[in-house]
Amino acid sequence: MQAPYYLERIEGEFRRRQEANPAYSLRSFAKFLGLDSSTLASILRRKRGLPLKSAERVAQKLGMSPAQKQEFVRSVYHARASLAGTDAIPQLAPASLLKEELHYRIIAEWEHYAVYSLLESRGSRTEVAWIADRMGITPARAENVLNRLLEAGLVTRTAKGRHTCQMARLETSDDVLSQSLQRAHTEALELALKKLTAVDVKSREYSSETIAFDLKKLPQAKALMREFSERFASLMKSSAGSTVYQLNLQFFPLSKIDSPKIAKEPNHELSL
């Protein structure tokens, strides 16, 4: 008998983490999900289902897209015979769900902004095969990304078949924005690791500084980093550009944070 979707996702993520780190424990995974370790153990042994009150939180912890999150939560309800087929199962309006899913994918998956920038570059072409070759992705993936950009209005196709980039905004709920940005940052870090060995040192720049830091200056540090990113992009972006680059800035603690009084910042609307 096939396991419910929610269980497949939980088991898959736990397996992925253990493959990356054989010492990763069930207790650590339960803490990450916000569950008691004995509860998670019972869920994985098929002894009990995931508590309804925990479904949305666990889906969010697993970094799911809006469509995946809805399927996850619905599968938790369906797994309970008393609720299967009832009006208690949460639903989103199809149009709303499709829009949330579209915007999530564009923000979260690195290829979308990369293709957008490629289409702005000097000598850009419209053929999917050319886009795929330049970005190092499959033609099917390139076509999928291009179609999403067209659907969101970030790119338009002229009568002659040319693609034109548009100034546009992506607006979505704070929850979806938070999850999509988290995934985007994860993909950026993974890409940076790959490029460290794949790209010649003459064509890249990696540097880091380790310092003793006063947490009171954290807002100032973030402001300086954002200002630098904006100035860098403004100065380096060129109509003569032919290669797509990505700038990543990370600033994170290596030691334990000894002060809990760090102001929570609001999510910022993402724009191109």
Listed residues 40, 64, 91: the one ending a domain: 91
**Domain match, 74 and 109 both:** no
**Domain match, 99 and 109 both:** yes
CATH number at residue 78: 1.10.260
Structure-model confidence comparison of residues 28 and 165, the more confident one:
28
DSSP-assigned beta bridge partners for residue 156: 164
**Domain match, 199 and 160 both:** yes
How far CA 49 is from CA of 74, 80, 88, 155, 213, in Å, comes to 13, 8, 17, 44, 45
Query: Buried b / exposed e across 164-185, counting CB within 10 Å, b at 16+?
Result: ebeeeebebeeebbebbbebbe
Listed residues 43, 65, 91: the one ending a domain: 91
**Domain match, 250 and 175 both:** yes
pLDDT at 80: 78
How far CA 146 is from CA of 77, 109, 129, 131, in Å, comes to 36, 12, 12, 9
**Domain match, 249 and 197 both:** yes
Query: Buried b / exposed e across 94-133, counting CB within 10 Å, b at 16+?
Result: eeebebbbbbbbbbbbbbbbbbbbbbbeeebeeebeebbe
Residue 111 confidence class, pLDDT cut points 50, 70, 90: very high
| pLDDT single digits (tens) 11-25 | 999 999 999 899 999
Burial class of residue 19 (count of CB atoms within 10 Å of its CB; 0-12, 13-18, 19+): exposed
Which residues constitute the domain of residue 115?
93-272
> In the chain, how long is the greatest CA-to-CA distance?
63
Residue 82 confidence class, pLDDT cut points 50, 70, 90: low
**Domain match, 31 and 166 both:** no
| pLDDT single digits (tens) 231-265 | 999 999 887 788 999 999 999 999 988 765 655 56
